């Protein structure tokens, strides 16, 4: 992958009036920046200067609401002040405007390649009636000065056209940015969220081992589905046996609709202030933890999900056979380093976390992920050979059990509370 502009992959200057200079109103109206469209990537990144890495500090990250000043009415925008003496030109400030959401906050240090915002059409884009999502990139010597030539930062000519290649798209086949959410993100306004999401179903307790539903799961499931933002699910495991791992998959099936990816989240359960890992499953061997993950995935596939495994690089290499599991299941790997290990397989790469409020519709920090390999098509799941459901010791026949199970999920009835269910092989 290669970041040649502010987007990975291809960048386009769509209209002649989107160019820098006296390009509007028949050459009578000044346009202080260049309007860029990411064709393979919607995330706006801190650019390089003619291939050279540059750094700076975010000095503005806000939405301008003052419509009386059309020059400054940029909607959601980010301003980065460059660190001194990095480039030979007069540029000290970079502006990224008309964004749909912001991924940084004031005071944050950024460098080339860091995610800043998501392109959009907010504010006074094309006099408030813009036909397409884009980023107005403007560079200045002073914060209130006139726009200077931005092409060294735009990575393209000041001319209509498509620049770069799809092969440069961020480590990806799709380039789609996605988020993962749980109760840590609080109450989410899903009508404003710009990304699809992986929703946490729940977790197993560190101490008692009780299976717990995420406190925001019902709201997140309903909101994500209603706004076409649901990508899949994950469950934070603390299983110490294969039977417990299978029970975790069953728990997920009692709460979440099938037909989606479902990830076994494997990481440290709890770390003390002295750095000791003392979570319920933290003392498992690599072989034991791998067996639990595989048992979860086998059961998840039988229940109708596309199973996968989530973890982070150092954990993947020492504490679970992540590479072996990825031969059969979807890999989702976290690594926020710039020079991360690209040899480990993955379909989804978790690469960063936003500042507070960095994703529109969400108040706290939010993890950012990128689909780096197109997710496999979900095959029709293998039907369990027999399912038993019983109420007050009365066992329902298989057909009736499946019908009851469907209705129970629809109305949110919990397994082992309102009824008892298990899948019986053979």
pLDDT in tens, 295-307: 999 999 999 999 9
Domain boundary among 135, 168, 201: 168
CB 33 within 8 A of CB 71: no
Residue 377 lies in a domain: no
**DSSP helix/strand/coil, 409:** helix
CB 409 within 8 A of CB 257: yes
Residue 124 lies in a domain: yes
Q: Are residues 223 and 329 in the same domain?
A: yes
Of 49-58, 253-262, 392-401, the poorest mean pLDDT is in 392-401
CB 319 within 8 A of CB 293: no
Q: How many domains does the chain have?
A: 3
Residue 67 CB coordination number (10 Å): 11
CB 197 within 8 A of CB 180: yes
Residue 378 lies in a domain: no
**In this structure, what token pair is assigned to residue 309?**
């495994």
Q: Are residues 358 and 410 in the same domain?
A: no
Q: Are residues 105 and 225 in the same domain?
A: no
Report d(CA 225, CA 238) in Å as an integer.
28
Domain boundary among 145, 168, 191: 168
Maximum average pLDDT range among 39-53, 158-172, 216-230, 268-282: 216-230
Q: Are residues 197 and 121 in the same domain?
A: no
Report d(CA 158, CA 176) in Å as an integer.
27
Position 383 scores a pLDDT of 41
User: Is 50 exceeded by the pLDDT of residue 226?
Assistant: yes
382: confidence class by pLDDT, cuts 50, 70, 90: very low
Beta strands at 76-82 and 93-99: parallel, antiparallel or unpaired: antiparallel
Position 71 scores a pLDDT of 66
Q: Are residues 397 and 336 in the same domain?
A: no
Residue 35 lies in a domain: yes
Q: Are residues 325 and 394 in the same domain?
A: no
Position 14 scores a pLDDT of 93
User: Is 50 exceeded by the pLDDT of residue 230?
Assistant: yes
Residue 1 lies in a domain: no
CB 123 within 8 A of CB 76: yes
Pick the closest to residue 371 from 236, 238, 117, 173 (CA basis). 173
Report d(CA 203, CA 201) in Å as an integer.
7
Q: Are residues 322 and 404 in the same domain?
A: no
Residue 329 belongs to a domain with what CATH number? 3.20.20.80
Residue 382 lies in a domain: no
Position 409 scores a pLDDT of 61
Report d(CA 211, CA 195) in Å as an integer.
28
Residue 49 belongs to a domain with what CATH number? 2.70.70.10
CB 282 within 8 A of CB 292: no
Angle at 336 between CA 332 and CA 339, to 5 degrees: 105
Q: Are residues 182 and 274 in the same domain?
A: yes
**Host domain of residue 412:** 387-423
Q: Are residues 128 and 194 in the same domain?
A: no
Global confidence as pTM: 0.59
Domain boundary among 120, 138, 168: 168
Q: Are residues 242 and 288 in the same domain?
A: yes
User: pLDDT over 70 for what percent of the chain?
Assistant: 82
Position 360 scores a pLDDT of 87
Torsion of CA 312, 318, 324, 326, to 10 degrees: 0
Of 1-10, 232-241, 295-304, the poorest mean pLDDT is in 1-10
Averaged pLDDT for residues 11-32: 92
106: confidence class by pLDDT, cuts 50, 70, 90: confident
Residue 67 lies in a domain: yes
Q: Are residues 250 and 157 in the same domain?
A: no
Phi/psi of residue 174, nearest 5 degrees: -110, -30
CA end-to-end distance (rounded Å), the chain: 48
DSSP 183: G
Position 168 scores a pLDDT of 57
Averaged pLDDT for residues 256-262: 95
Q: Are residues 227 and 159 in the same domain?
A: no
Residue 49 lies in a domain: yes
């Amino acid at each position: 992958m290669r970041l040649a502009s502010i987007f990975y992959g291809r960048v386009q200057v769509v209209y002649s009036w989107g160019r820098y200079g006296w390009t509007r109103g028949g050459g009578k109206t000044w346009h202080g920046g260049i309007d860029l469209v990411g064709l393979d990537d919607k995330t706006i990144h801190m650019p390089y200067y003619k291939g050279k890495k540059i750094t700076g500090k975010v000095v503005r990250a806000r939405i301008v609401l003052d419509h009386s000043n059309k020059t400054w009415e940029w909607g959601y925008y980010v301003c980065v002040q460059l660190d001194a003496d990095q480039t030979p030109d007069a540029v000290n400030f970079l502006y990224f405007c008309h964004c749909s959401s912001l991924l940084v906050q004031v005071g944050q240090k950024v460098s080339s390649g860091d995610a800043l915002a998501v392109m959009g059409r907010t504010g006074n884009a094309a006099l408030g009636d813009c036909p397409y999502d884009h980023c107005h990139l403007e560079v200045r010597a002073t914060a209130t000065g006139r726009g200077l030539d931005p092409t060294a930062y735009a990575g393209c000519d000041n001319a209509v056209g498509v620049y770069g290649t799809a092969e440069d798209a961020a480590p990806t086949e799709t380039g789609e940015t996605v988020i993962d959410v749980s109760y840590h993100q609080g109450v989410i306004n899903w009508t404003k969220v710009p990304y699809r999401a992986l929703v946490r179903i729940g977790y197993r307790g560190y101490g008692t081992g009780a299976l717990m539903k995420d406190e925001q799961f019902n709201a997140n499931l309903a909101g994500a589905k209603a706004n076409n933002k649901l990508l899949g699910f994950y469950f934070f495991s603390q299983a110490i046996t294969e039977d417990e791992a299978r029970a975790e998959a069953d728990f997920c099936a009692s709460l979440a609709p099938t037909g989606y990816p479902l990830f076994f989240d494997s990481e440290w359960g709890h770390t003390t202030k002295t750095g000791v890992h003392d979570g319920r499953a933290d003392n498992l061997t690599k072989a034991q933890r791998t067996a639990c993950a595989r048992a979860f995935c086998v059961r998840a596939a039988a229940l109708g999900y596309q199973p996968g495994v989530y973890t982070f690089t150092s954990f993947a290499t020492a504490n679970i056979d992540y590479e072996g599991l990825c031969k059969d299941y979807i890999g989702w790997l976290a690594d926020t380093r710039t020079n991360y290990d690209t040899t480990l397989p993955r379909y989804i790469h978790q690469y960063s976390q936003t500042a507070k409020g960095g994703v529109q519709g969400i108040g706290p920090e939010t993890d950012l992920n990128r689909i780096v390999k197109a997710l496999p098509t979900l095959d029709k799941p293998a039907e369990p050979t027999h399912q038993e459901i019983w109420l007050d010791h009365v066992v329902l026949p298989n057909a009736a059990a499946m019908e009851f199970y469907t209705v129970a999920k629809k109305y949110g009835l919990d397994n082992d509370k309102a009824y008892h269910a298990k899948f019986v092989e053979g």
